[in-house]
Homo-oligomer: A and B are copies of this chain.
């Protein structure tokens, strides 16, 4: 239905502004930052994700003949301008936080430096691509923090908002520490480990629950996860242990069972006892059904003997906080810093860098937002990732990004890791940046 590189996946005003820039020959270098204005209420930090898809988009951006024809027929654009779009390519520079980097409000995730029309056109889709994966990685890591040594699997495809969200949620969750996904296409496209159980319909389609269990196990002799709650969970567990000796004699292993409704903690305890007594102590218990970090926490407090979890809708939609205030703002044009001063939406101008300071043991202590040409102590976080419209290096393997997330979480002050309470990390504004703002505001008034 659409592709990641579709140049018309943008807002109309980008094209009408491009027409103005074309008419006025405004082709000088613009610098835009992508950043989050405020963290959502229930997030102490965010995790950058989606850069790989954003760079793909920039590298492949061009107008196809049918798109130009359609634009020409709109009645909004003049012929010369449409003609100029045939040559349109992105030739700019991109600085970005590596995927998996922890960041906070006001910190640029990505900086575009390019001729104004190029930097302008890409706004809508860049926000769209980085927003969603960052949202989901930042939600997923909270689930990982709530269930650190458990297998977590993305089950959210069906209620993710559309096909691309379904696919990219699997990637973002995996980056953040999930063990895998149920979405087959994400396995094929990204090499993410796939997990699956069975649905109630398979049980219902059989005249007896026993036959359903047996047939599914025979067809999946190593990997079967049996769903217990179609009719009555405990009765189903007892049926399973009666079948087990016969299956085991045929070399079939029951890898796990799944419980998807009712009081998960209590049912898991009862099912664990039934399985252990029945010789299935190696069979894992998998839980699912409206789970998120808050429910995972309750289940642990309740001592639920559950080994793995399928996290679905509440992950792929980030239901407790389904948006980030991610914006893309002009910070410099034609060598001059620029600043928006709309009430409540003011921006920090100029080419900036984030300097991350750490204690001797590596724990993060503070970030400083400064101008690039006024370096400070600390590790500079923004790296050049694209030059002249081409990637500087090959895409990072997902495993490297996963390792970065783990390392960054380990270096995060403990109160910030607590997903149950709010804690604010210090991000300071360098004096040079404050002076620049004062100078620009003064010039305006």
Chain A's interface size range is 35 or more
In the complex, chain B residues whose CB is within 8 Å of the CB of A262: 342-344
Complex alpha-carbon distance, A158 and B54, angstroms: 13
A392 at the B interface (CB under 8 A)? no
Chain B residue at minimal CB-CB distance from A259: B342
Complex alpha-carbon distance, A183 and B14, angstroms: 10
Q: Which of A201, A219, A344 has the most CB of B within 10 A?
A: A201
Give the residue of B13, B184, B201, B215 whose beta carbon is less than 8 angstroms from that of A11: B184
Chain B residue at minimal CB-CB distance from A184: B8
In the complex, chain B residues whose CB is within 8 Å of the CB of A344: 261-262
Query: Which of A161-169, A366-374, A430-438 is the contact stretch?
Result: A161-169
In the complex, chain B residues whose CB is within 8 Å of the CB of A216: 16-17, 20
Chain B residue at minimal CB-CB distance from A444: B231
Q: How far is the CB of A257 from chain B (nearest CB, A)?
A: 14
Query: Which of A82-90, A95-103, A326-334, A357-365 is the contact stretch?
Result: A326-334
Known: A182-B12, A198-B16. A23 touches B322 (CB 8 A): no
Q: Which of A21, A30, A159, A196 has the most CB of B within 10 A?
A: A159
Question: What is the copy number of this chain in the assembly?
Answer: 2
Q: How far is the CB of A318 from chain B (nearest CB, A)?
A: 8
Chain B residue at minimal CB-CB distance from A216: B20
B164 and A205 form a contact (CB under 8 A) = no
Query: Which of A120-128, A237-245, A399-407, A412-420 is the contact stretch?
Result: A120-128
Give the residue of B70, B116, B159, B218 whose beta carbon is less than 8 angstroms from that of A323: B159
In the complex, chain B residues whose CB is within 8 Å of the CB of A183: 9-12
A159 and B326 form a contact (CB under 8 A) = yes
Q: How far is the CB of A100 from chain B (nearest CB, A)?
A: 20
A282 at the B interface (CB under 8 A)? no
Chain B residue at minimal CB-CB distance from A320: B322
A246 at the B interface (CB under 8 A)? no
Complex alpha-carbon distance, A125 and B444, angstroms: 53
In the complex, chain B residues whose CB is within 8 Å of the CB of A313: 323
In the complex, chain B residues whose CB is within 8 Å of the CB of A160: 128, 161-162
Give the residue of B124, B182, B201, B317 whose beta carbon is less than 8 angstroms from that of A157: B124
Complex alpha-carbon distance, A336 and B207, angstroms: 9
Complex alpha-carbon distance, A119 and B262, angstroms: 27
A42 at the B interface (CB under 8 A)? no
A199 at the B interface (CB under 8 A)? yes
A145 at the B interface (CB under 8 A)? no
A194 at the B interface (CB under 8 A)? yes
A20 and B219 form a contact (CB under 8 A) = yes
A229 at the B interface (CB under 8 A)? yes
A15 and B184 form a contact (CB under 8 A) = yes
Interface string of A69-80 (1 = CB under 8 A from B): 010001010000
A1 at the B interface (CB under 8 A)? yes
A340 at the B interface (CB under 8 A)? yes
Known: A162-B168, A342-B262. A26 touches B182 (CB 8 A): no
Q: How far is the CB of A10 from chain B (nearest CB, A)?
A: 6
Complex alpha-carbon distance, A8 and B330, angstroms: 40
Q: How far is the CB of A81 from chain B (nearest CB, A)?
A: 8
Give the residue of B24, B67, B342 whose beta carbon is less than 8 angstroms from that of A200: B342
Rank and list the top 7 A-B pairs by shortest CB-CB distance, nearest first. Answer: A12-B196, A162-B164, A161-B161, A13-B196, A162-B165, A1-B4, A201-B330
In the complex, besides A74-B194, A261-B343, 9 extra interface pairs with C-beta distance below 8 angstroms are A2-B189, A6-B185, A11-B157, A20-B216, A21-B202, A131-B158, A164-B164, A207-B336, A262-B342
Can you list 22 contacts pairing A with B, beta carbon distance less than 8 Å?
A: A2-B189, A9-B167, A9-B184, A12-B187, A12-B194, A16-B196, A16-B198, A17-B202, A20-B216, A20-B219, A21-B202, A23-B218, A67-B188, A76-B223, A116-B205, A123-B201, A128-B166, A200-B340, A201-B330, A205-B333, A261-B342, A261-B344
